Amino acid sequence: MQIRISWPAGQLTATLEETPTSKALVEALPISASANTWGEEVYFDTGLSVALEHDAQQVVAPGTVAFWTDGDALALPYGPTPIARGDECRLASPCNVLGSFDGDPRLLSTVRDGDPIRVERV
C-alpha cells in the first residue's frame, strides 16, 4: 500500500506494511489536518482511534511512518526528538509502525507548525 503526504513546501510517498492500523488508515483516506512539529518529527491528528499493536515501538529509524495511539495521530520522525538519546528517533510513547518513506525523510524539515497537511492513496 502506498500513500502520499503533502504540505505547502513538498510531498513524500510512503510504503505501508499490511497491519491493522495501516488498513484502517488507508480506509479513512483522504485525511487533511494541521501539522505539528516536535523536534525533528511531524505529527498530526487523523481522526482515527486504534489499539496499540503488540509490536509497537518507541525508538524507530528516521523515515518511519508510525501511528501514535495516545494522540490518534500519524507520527513522522526524521531525526532526533526532544526526548531522544543521541541521534535516535524516540517517539513520545510506543507507536504502531506502519511503514517507511520512499524518499529522503529529511524533506519533512520543510513542514512548519500549523501547515495544512494531506494524506491520500497513491
Quick: pLDDT tens for 21-69: 999 999 999 999 999 999 999 999 999 999 999 999 999 999 999 999 9
Residue 9 confidence (pLDDT): 98
Q: Are 77 and 91 in contact (CB under 8 A)?
A: yes
Which of 90-119 are b and which e, b meaning 16 or more Cβ less than 10 Å from the residue's Cβ? bbbebbbbbbbbeeebebbeebeeebebeb
36 backbone dihedrals φ, ψ, rounded to 5°: -120, 150
Residue 109 confidence (pLDDT): 97
Q: Are 16 and 99 in contact (CB under 8 A)?
A: yes
SS3 9: coil
DSSP secondary structure string, 51-74? PPPTT-EEEE-TTEEEEETTTTEE
The string of pLDDT tens digits covering residues 65-107 is: 999 999 999 999 999 999 999 999 999 999 999 999 999 999 9
How many Cα atoms are found within 13 Å in the side-chain-facing hemisphere of 72? 8
Which residue, chain included where needed, has cell 502520499? 4
pTM recorded for the entire structure:
0.96
C-alpha cell at 5: 503526504
Residue 115 confidence (pLDDT): 98
